[in-house]
C-alpha cells in the first residue's frame, strides 16, 4: 500500500469522523443550557432549532416580559443572537428577526437523546388492548409538554410504533418524539407523549431465535418467552417464537433490556411486541399470534415485559444506524493499516491508531481512563455499540501496552481478526448480501489469544428471499440489525 493511499485514507477518515463528532455534540434536547457558538456578537450556528411548545412566546428583547406574538409547535428557525435565557430567532426565508424566545421552548439537539448506555433512546408506543369499533386504540402525541395543548397539532400514534427521543421533561414524565434520526429545516417532530404510554429502549441489543433451529426429528424448534420470571424458572406458560431466516424480513427484534441471574440460571429481560415478534407455528401464512389472556390478565397493554432463558438457541443482533456502521468500517480500516508497521513499532502504532480513532469519534480524551477497559469507557462516554467481551475492547490502553498481559502474538491475531470483521461488516453494509466464512483456531500457540477466532474464506451470497436484508427502515431512518459476532 502506498503512503499516499494511507494518507488519503487517514485524512478521509478524519474528515468523516470529525463531521460525525460535530453532529454528536447536538443532543442535550432543548436549548436550555445548550452551548451555541458565537462570532462577532452573532450566533455561529448553521443548524435549525425547532419550537417544542405550541404558542411559544416571542419577546422584544432578552429581558422583556411583554409578548410580541406566539409561535406554532414544530416551526423551524435560525438562531441570530444568544443570551443566557433566550435566543433571537428568525424564519429561514426572512431577513428580519422575529424576536427572542425562551431557550426552554426551543430544541437545539438534532440527534436523538442518549441514555445511560450511551446509545440513542427509542420510544415504543403501547396502547390498551380494547378496540373501539373497527379502530384500535391509539396514543395522543401533544404539541406541548403539558400534554394538554393541541391547537390542531396533535397526532394519533398506533401501537407498536417506535420513535426517536429528542427531549424529555426533567422528571421523565413525557418525551418529545420524531420519526427522523436527523432533524433539519425540512424534518418534523411528532409531539410529546406521556411516559405511561410506552417504554424506552436505549440499548442496542435485540434477540431472535437462531437460524437452523431443528429438533431431533427434523422439525423446526421454537424458543419460549414467558410473561414472568417465575414462569420462566418453572418453564410454565411458554409462548413459542419461531427462528429461521424469516427474521431478515422484519425491521424488529425482541428488545433486550438486561440479563437477570437467578440460582445459576440466566434470563433475558425483554419487551414482547406480539403482532411483530411472536410467530404462529401452526399458521405460517399469517405469521402472527397474540399473547394469551392468561399472560395479559395483569396487563392492559399489548406490549409487555417478558423473559427468555439465555441459551445457545438464541442469537443477539445489534442495532446500528447506517452512520454507525460506516463509522465502524472506517475505524477498523484505520486500525488495519497498522499491520504495515514493523514488529518493533507495531504495538505503539496500533495503540496510537486505536486511541486517535476513538477520540475523534467521541470527541473525548482517553488519557484519564487508560486503566479502564475500552468497552466500559465507550459505554460510559457514549459512542458506538460494542459487543460484550470484545477480544479487543475488553482491554484497557494500559493492558495493550503491557506485553505480559497482551503478548505480540495476540496483537497480531487481533489485527487479523479485526480485518476480517471489517470485511464482514462491509458485506453487511451492502444490505442484500450476507457474509459466508469459516471459523477455525489460529495455528500455533499464544498464551492469551487462544479464543480469538481465525476467520477465513470470506465470501458473500444473497439472501434466500429478495425481501430479506440486514438493512431496514425504522420510521425514516435506515438501520441495520447486525449479528453480534460480526462486531469488533
Q: What is the pLDDT of residue 386?
A: 78
Paired strand residues for 439: 455
Using CA atoms, how far apart are residues 23 and 15, in angstroms rounded to an integer? 13
Cα distances (Å, whole numbers) of residue 152 to 31, 178, 377: 25, 18, 45
Q: What is the per-residue DSSP string for 242-296?
A: E-SGGGGG-S--EEEEEEEEETTEEEEEEEE-HHHH---TT-TTT------HHHH
Q: What is the pLDDT of residue 31?
A: 95
Among candidate residues 451, 399, 426, 206, the one with its CA nearest the CA of residue 331: 426
Q: What is the pLDDT of residue 10?
A: 37
Beta-strand ranges (E) seen in 7-105 are: 38-39, 42-43, 49-51, 56-59, 67-71, 76-82, 86-90, 99-102
Q: What is the pLDDT of residue 431?
A: 85
Q: Are 222 and 311 in contact (CB under 8 A)?
A: no
Among candidate residues 120, 160, 174, 154, the one with its CA nearest the CA of residue 477: 120
Q: pLDDT of the chain along its 488 residues, tens only?
A: 443 333 333 333 333 333 333 333 334 589 998 899 999 989 998 889 999 999 999 999 999 999 999 999 999 999 999 999 999 999 988 999 999 999 999 999 988 998 877 778 999 888 654 444 555 678 999 999 999 888 788 899 987 788 999 999 999 999 999 999 989 999 999 999 999 999 898 888 899 999 888 877 878 888 999 999 999 999 999 999 988 888 999 888 898 988 999 888 999 999 887 654 454 443 332 232 233 333 334 333 456 789 999 999 999 999 988 888 888 888 787 776 665 555 567 788 888 888 877 777 666 777 777 888 888 887 776 567 778 788 998 999 999 999 999 998 998 899 889 889 999 999 999 988 999 999 988 888 898 888 898 998 899 999 999 999 999 988 888 899 999 989 88
In our burial notation (b when 16+ CB lie closer than 10 A, e otherwise), range 3-28 reads eeeeeebbeebeebbeebbeebebbb
H or E element, residue 345? helix 343-362
Using CA atoms, how far apart are residues 226 and 299, in angstroms rounded to an integer? 14
Quote the crossing angle between the two packed helices 3-25 and 322-336, to the nearest 10°.
140
* 3-state secondary structure at position 368: helix
Q: How many CA atoms lie within 13 A of 485 on its CB side?
A: 12
pTM score of the predicted model? 0.78
Using CA atoms, how far apart are residues 87 and 227, in angstroms rounded to an integer? 49
Domains of the chain in start order, with CATH, are 40-107 (2.30.30.170), 122-201 (2.30.30), 205-312 (no CATH), 320-486 (no CATH)
Q: What is the pLDDT of residue 134?
A: 55
* 3-state secondary structure at position 429: helix
Among candidate residues 250, 253, 278, 274, the one with its CA nearest the CA of residue 473: 250
Q: How many CA atoms lie within 13 A of 244 on its CB side?
A: 17
Which one-letter DSSP state was computed for residue 213?
A: -
Residues 6+ apart with CB under 8 A from 147: 174, 192, 194
Amino acid at each position: 500500500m502506498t503512503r499516499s493511499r494511507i494518507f488519503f485514507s487517514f485524512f478521509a477518515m478524519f474528515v468523516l469522523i470529525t463531521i460525525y463528532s460535530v453532529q454528536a455534540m447536538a443532543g442535550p434536547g432543548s436549548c436550555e443550557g445548550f452551548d451555541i457558538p458565537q462570532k462577532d456578537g452573532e450566533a455561529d450556528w448553521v443548524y435549525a432549532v425547532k419550537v417544542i411548545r405550541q404558542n411559544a412566546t416571542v419577546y422584544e428583547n432578552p429581558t422583556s416580559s411583554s409578548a410580541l406574538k406566539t409561535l406554532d409547535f414544530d416551526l423551524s428557525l435560525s438562531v441570530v443572537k444568544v443570551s443566557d435565557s433566550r435566543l433571537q430567532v428568525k424564519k429561514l426565508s426572512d431577513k428580519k428577526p422575529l424576536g427572542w424566545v425562551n431557550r426552554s421552548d426551543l430544541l437545539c439537539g438534532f440527534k436523538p437523546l442518549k441514555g445511560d448506555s450511551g446509545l440513542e433512546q427509542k420510544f415504543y408506543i403501547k396502547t390498551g388492548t380494547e378496540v373501539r369499533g373497527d379502530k384500535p386504540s391509539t396514543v395522543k402525541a401533544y404539541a406541548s409538554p403539558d400534554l394538554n395543548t393541541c391547537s390542531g397539532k396533535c397526532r394519533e400514534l398506533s401501537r407498536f410504533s417506535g420513535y426517536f427521543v429528542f427531549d424529555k421533561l426533567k422528571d421523565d414524565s413525557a418525551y418529545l418524539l420524531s420519526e427522523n434520526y436527523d432533524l433539519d429545516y425540512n424534518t418534523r417532530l411528532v409531539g410529546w407523549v406521556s411516559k405511561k404510554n410506552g417504554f424506552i429502549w436505549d440499548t442496542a441489543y435485540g434477540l431472535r431465535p437462531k437460524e437452523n433451529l431443528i429438533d431431533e426429528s427434523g422439525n423446526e424448534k421454537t424458543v419460549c418467552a414467558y410473561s414472568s420470571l417465575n414462569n420462566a424458572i418453572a418453564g410454565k406458560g411458554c409462548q413459542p417464537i419461531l427462528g429461521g431466516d424469516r427474521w431478515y424480513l422484519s425491521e424488529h427484534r425482541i428488545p433486550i433490556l438486561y440479563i437477570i441471574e437467578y440460582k445459576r440460571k440466566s434470563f433475558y429481560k425483554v419487551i414482547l411486541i406480539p403482532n411483530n415478534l411472536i410467530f404462529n407455528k401452526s399458521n405460517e401464512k399469517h405469521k402472527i399470534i397474540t399473547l394469551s389472556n392468561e399472560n395479559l390478565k395483569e396487563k392492559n397493554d399489548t406490549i409487555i415485559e417478558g423473559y427468555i432463558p439465555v441459551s445457545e438457541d438464541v442469537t443477539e443482533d445489534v442495532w446500528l444506524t447506517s452512520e454507525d456502521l460506516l463509522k465502524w468500517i472506517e475505524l477498523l480500516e484505520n486500525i488495519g493499516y497498522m499491520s504495515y508497521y514493523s514488529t518493533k513499532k507495531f504495538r505503539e502504532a496500533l495503540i496510537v491508531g486505536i486511541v486517535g480513532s476513538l477520540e475523534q469519534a467521541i470527541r473525548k480524551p482517553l488519557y484519564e481512563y487508560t486503566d479502564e477497559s475500552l468497552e466500559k469507557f465507550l459505554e460510559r462516554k457514549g459512542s458506538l455499540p460494542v459487543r460484550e467481551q470484545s477480544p479487543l475492547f475488553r482491554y484497557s490502553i494500559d493492558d495493550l501496552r503491557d506485553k505480559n498481559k497482551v503478548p505480540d502474538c495476540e496483537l497480531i491475531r487481533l489485527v487479523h481478526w479485526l480485518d476480517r470483521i471489517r470485511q464482514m461488516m462491509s458485506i453487511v453494509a451492502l444490505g442484500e448480501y450476507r457474509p459466508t466464512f469459516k471459523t477455525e483456531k489460529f495455528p500455533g500457540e499464544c498464551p492469551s489469544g487462544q479464543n480469538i477466532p481465525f476467520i477465513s474464506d470470506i465470501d458473500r451470497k444473497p439472501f434466500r428471499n429478495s425481501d430479506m436484508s440486514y438493512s431496514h427502515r425504522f420510521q425514516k431512518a435506515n438501520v441495520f440489525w447486525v449479528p453480534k459476532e460480526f462486531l469488533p
